[in-house]
Each structure stands twice: as structure tokens, then as C-alpha cells.
Amino acid sequence: MVRWFRLSCLRHSLVAFAVTFSVAHAPMADAAQKAQPRQKVIAKAAAKKPSAGRQVRSVKVKRTTVVKAAAARPSMGQLYGLHATDDPLDLKSSVALVIDQDTQQVLFSKNPQAVLPIASITKLMTALVVTEAGLPLDEVLTISQDDVDTEKGSRSRLTVGSQLTRGEMLLLALMSSENRAANALGRHYPGGMDAFVAAMNAKAQLLGMNGTRYVEPTGLSSQNRSSANDLARLVDAAYAHPIIRELSTSREAQVDIGNRQLQFRSTNGLVRNPEWDIGLQKTGYISEAGRCLVMQAELAGRKLIMVLLDSAGKYSRIGDAERIRKWLDHAVPTAPSQAATTRF
């Protein structure tokens, strides 16, 4: 009996000790388990830590987004293979013609009979028809929805409802190649747009521009087509009108539209170049026509008519004009191999 009592007391003592030990060491076990993830993080960071004396460079990664440019739409001249024509001046225009205005002598020519889209060179005929019609230049015209470009989707600062005089519309059409202004000029012609386009084509025939056709007054349509030979005749006829000479060579102008004042500048930077004496000019561009330029200018002591069509590159028509000017400054009276002594 006494032995059983002693064994029972010993068993209770061992159980009490085990419980006490477990309770006393439980916080330490929990702390150890919580410390394991932290220790792993510290160890991982220590593994990445550079050794003493080693320099660490901060590398910035720049992401570049590459946008594939859409292929440029070829001009009609390119499709016809006209750019393969060689010339002594290495012009970027596939069509070129330089004529002495007084003698009608051809000084330089390159594909002068090729009939191509002429873009806003069209506006020179628009101005000629309006001017010769004797319509009042102080009459106020209104831009309407009919003047908004649905052919190419080009923009304009002349919003629908804008009002300008016919003279101001003529200025913006010639100087800044304003499409809505040119369309409004045709729309306000006696008989409307159909009568105006008919007058444009009738004038072309009267001038002997047999390869020329117009379908509208802005040049946005690629169906407006002509040749360098024909356009030289147009420049010569338009030059006879002082108002066309003045407006086409204006450098800049400010017009009032309602409560707004809008500033417009010439599309031809050569009018601001002191090395050029330009009496008349017009630029043009649509993708089918390339970059175009016609001018009357006095160079090397001569009054010249210059036509450049289907030039490849934003500034190449200006570059071509400069090449011709420099050649004329240094050339002998007879032109290079492609110059002709025939009359225009």
C-alpha cells in the first residue's frame, strides 16, 4: 500500500514537471518559429550583398516602343516611272521646266509633257477665273459645310460660318493654300460650282492648255491634272494680273473672323528669301501629285517661269529651285544637255 502511494506521487510529480516545462518553453518555441522566415529573408539578402570594395551600379532599363511607319503612298509620277529620268542637275522633281518669259525660250526641261495631278497649283486657275470675272472683292462670303474637305479630310482654321471678303478668300487661297477659301470662291461664282468648274476648263482651253482638266477649285482631287508645258502658260497668264502677283507673293497676313484674329503665312518659304525676286508663286501637295511648285521669278537678269512637279520629299521642291537658281547664276547662255533652244 505504501509502495503504491509512493509510485502514484512520483507519477504526479513527473506529469507536473512536464506540464511546467512545456508552458515555460512554449513562447520560446513560437518565437523560434516566427524567426525562421525572417532569418531566411536576411540570409537571402546577405547572399545578394556585394563583397567589400565592390561597386554597385544602378542600371535603368528604358523601354522603347517601336512603331512601324506606314509605307508612303506612291505618286502618279512614281507609278509612271518618271523619277527614273536622269537630268544634269539631279533634280528630285520628276517634272521640271524653266522658260524665259520674254523670249519663250526653253532653258531646261524634264518630262514637260507628262500629265499628272497638280494639287493646289489648281488654285492659280481658281484665282484667274475669279479675277477675270470682275466679281467684287469686298463682297462678304461665308464658309459653309459644303466647303469642308471630304476628299482628303484636311483641316482648316476657317470654321463653318466664318465670314471673309472675296479678296481675303483669294489671299488665303493663294498665299496659304486655304482649301475652304478656294472652294468658297468657286461656290459663290455666278451659277454655282458647276459653272465655275466649266469656266476653269474653258479658260484652260483658251490658253492652249490642251492636256489640262479641272473637276474642282482646290486641287484636293487627283483628277485635276496638267503638264509642265500647260502650267507655264497658266503662270504667264496669271502674271498679267497685278492682284494675283501681289496676293500670291504675300509673306503673311492677319484676318479678323468674328472676335478672332488669325495669322496666316505663305506656304512658300522662298518669298522670304532675299536671294529670290519672285513675282508670282503657288505651291501644291497631295500624295498623288507629290510636292509641286510654280513660280515667276527674275534670276540671272532674266524673267523666268519655273515649273516643278512630283518632287519627292518635303523640302525637295525648294532644293530643286535652289539648284536651278545656282545653275542659272553660273551657266553660260546655252543651258546644259537637256536645255533647249526651241520656243515654248
Per-position DSSP letters for 277-340, written without gaps between them: -EEEEEEEEETTTEEEEEEEEEETTEEEEEEEEEE-STTHHHHHHHHHHHHHHH--SS--TT--
Length of the chain: 344
Q: Which three cell numbers stand for residue 84?
A: 527614273
- In the annotation, is 75 catalytic? no
Catalytic residue among 93, 94, 110, 123: 123
Q: Which of 120, 221, 222, 226 is catalytic?
A: 120
How many angstroms separate the CA atoms of 70 and 266, rounded? 29
Has 156 been annotated as catalytic?
Answer: no
Nine-digit cell at 288?
498623288
Tell me the H-state helices in 190-300: 192-206, 228-239, 242-248
Q: Number of C-alpha atoms within 13 angstroms, CB side, residue 278? A: 29
Measured CA to CA, the distance from residue 324 to residue 335 in angstroms comes to 11
User: Backbone phi, then psi, for 313, in 5-degree steps?
Assistant: 120, 145
CA distance 318 to 308: 9
H or E element that contains 180: helix 179-187
Cβ–Cβ under 8 Å, residues 109 and 97: yes
Which residue reads 505618286 in cell numbers?
75
Determine which one of 94, 177, 311, 316 is catalytic. Answer: 177
**Alpha-carbon gap, residue 173 to 131, rounded angstroms:** 13
Please work out, in degrees rounded to the nearest 5, the angle formed at the alpha carbon of residue 302 by the alpha carbons of 301 and 305. 145
The letter for the amino acid at 320 is D
**Residue 120 appears among annotated catalytic residues:** yes
Report d(CA 282, CA 272) in Å as an integer: 14
Q: Residues with catalytic annotation? A: 120, 123, 177
